[in-house]
């Protein structure tokens, strides 16, 4: 893996919340930027109105996008996450999916609560940056 995930002493442990504080990418690494993915099937339609199902499918879609470059979820260094109607109840499904994908070394992540996304049925969207 071309990057290092570090959660420095002196800052709270972010891992239970589904992110890390920092990710370092060495000079000369190739970066792959994944546009905002959401809980869609191959036809672009949202697969479910259920928030947790959209979260799971979104991360699966990021994995598919990365595989097109010969990369996997372990190459992700940063996530930018957008959540419609964000509240504490939305954190559990997100943190659970992140744990399932990255275990105890999740990427750096910023979560942004938004009023809406591309269409009214999209509740969750994630951009990713990966490093080779």
Sequence spans of domains, the chain: 4-131
pTM beyond 0.75: the answer is yes
- Looking at the DSSP assignment, which residues form a beta bridge with residue 37? 126
For 14, counting Cβ atoms within 10 Å of its Cβ (0-12 exposed, 13-18 middle, 19+ buried), the class is: middle
Q: What would the CATH number be for the domain defined by 4-131?
A: 3.30.1330.40
CA–CA dist 110, 78 (Å, integer)? 8
Give the confidence band of 79 by pLDDT, cuts at 50, 70, 90.
very high
pLDDT digits (tens, 9 = 90+) for 60-74: 999 999 999 999 999
Give the confidence band of 2 by pLDDT, cuts at 50, 70, 90.
confident
């Amino acid at each position: 893996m071309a990057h290092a995930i570090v959660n420095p002493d002196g800052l709270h442990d972010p891992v239970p919340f589904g992110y890390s504080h920092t990710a370092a990418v060495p000079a000369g690494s190739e970066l792959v930027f994944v546009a905002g993915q959401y809980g869609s099937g191959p036809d672009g339609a949202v697969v479910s109105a259920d928030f947790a199902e959209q979260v799971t499918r979104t991360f699966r879609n990021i994995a598919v996008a990365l595989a097109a470059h010969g990369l996997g979820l372990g190459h992700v260094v940063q996530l930018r996450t957008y959540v419609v109607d964000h509240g504490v109840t939305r954190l559990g499904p997100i943190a659970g999916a992140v744990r399932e994908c990255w275990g105890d070394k999740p990427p750096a992540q910023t979560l942004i609560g938004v009023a809406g996304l591309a269409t009214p049925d999209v509740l969750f969207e994630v951009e990713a940056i990966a490093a080779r």
